[in-house]
Structures are given as structure tokens and as C-alpha cells.
A = this chain, B = another copy of it.
Amino acid sequence: MSKRQSETHIPAVGEGKRGVEGHIGYLLRQAYAVHRSRLEQALQPLGLTLPQFSVLTMLSAYPGIAGADLARLSLLTPQTICVILNNLEKAGFIRRSAHPVHRRAQCIELSPAGLLMLKNCKQRVELVEQILLQGVPAKEEEVVRRWLVQLAMTDAMPMSEPR
């Protein structure tokens, strides 16, 4: 969320080098930090944290998913997901019900309140995302997209057949 209480006389750091010459990892981190800060500020008035928004988004894409699968998708432990789900349930945004096939597992879904909350959040997130591509030519956007996708693909991706 960040506080920035007043001005400082110290210039922004950059692990030695700065600007377009800086370490690419530092630039990536800096850029994402700014984006995340904007996201958190957009979500805060609605009372949702970023991990919570992330889980609600996944639940919207995979209604009825079990907690263990949610953990795998998020690359988190089942225990961590359990905590987040508990907080979301306390807030009334999700519903847990019996799993149709596995009696130990749970069927987790968005509640109507959760669906509405997610819709409101997405609206705000949409605005924040638009800032990312302001004034970027289509050709450059294409290059950036390919770079990001390649990065994300190198590590993650269980995959098999969609649907």
C-alpha cells in the first residue's frame, strides 16, 4: 500500500545502474511493484486483498473446484489456501458444499455476493490495466506480450486439455 509521507532528497535507487540501463530484473520488479500498488489501492476501498481477488477470479473460472486443486493452481500450499478461503467465507463471498464424487473434498463456489464483489473489482482492475499500455504502439505491445508470455511459460504450466 505504501505511505510516502513527505519528500526526500535521495534519488531513486537502481542497484548501481539506472533507467533503461538498469538490471532487467530490477526493472521488472519496479514495474510490477507500481502496478501492484495501484491494484491494491483500487481493491482496498472494496475491502479485498490481492490474493483474495486472485482466488475469487479462479473460482469464477473454475466453479466447483476443490481446495487442493486451487492450491496447485496458485502454487500455494493447501493450508494457505484454507486460510484465504476461511477469510472469504467469513466475508460471505464463497460457499462450500459437498463434492459430487470425492466425499472428503469440498465443492467451492462463488456466492452471489462474491460474484457481485468480483464484478466490481474487475471493473476497477480494468482501469488500472489500461494504464499499462497507454501510448504503447501496437508493434511494441506485441513484443512486450511475447516477452511476458515466454517468461511465464518457462516455469509454470501443468497443462493438458482445456475443458
* Chain A interface (Cβ < 8 Å from any Cβ of B): 2-16, 19-20, 22-25, 27-39, 57-58, 61-62, 65, 69, 71-73, 75-77, 125, 128-129, 131-133, 136, 140-149, 151-152, 154-163
- For A143, what are the chain B residues with a Cβ–Cβ distance below 8 Å? 140, 143-144
Q: Known: A158-B7, A159-B12, A161-B9. Contact between A152 and B34, CB under 8 A?
A: yes
Give the CA-CA distance A132 to B5 in the complex, in Å: 34
Identify the closest chain B residue to A74 (Cβ).
B2
Q: Known: A11-B160, A152-B30. Contact between A20 and B145, CB under 8 A?
A: yes
- For A141, what are the chain B residues with a Cβ–Cβ distance below 8 Å? 24
Specify how many copies of this chain sit in the oligomer. 2
- Asked if A12 contacts B129 (CB within 8 A), the reply is no
Give the CA-CA distance A88 to B12 in the complex, in Å: 22
- For A140, what are the chain B residues with a Cβ–Cβ distance below 8 Å? 143, 146-147
Give the CA-CA distance A88 to B11 in the complex, in Å: 24
Identify the closest chain B residue to A70 (Cβ).
B10
- Asked if B11 contacts A57 (CB within 8 A), the reply is no
- Asked if B128 contacts A25 (CB within 8 A), the reply is yes
Additional 10 contacts, C-beta under 8 A, given A20-B146, A29-B35: A8-B158, A10-B162, A20-B145, A22-B149, A25-B39, A25-B129, A32-B32, A33-B75, A37-B75, A132-B151
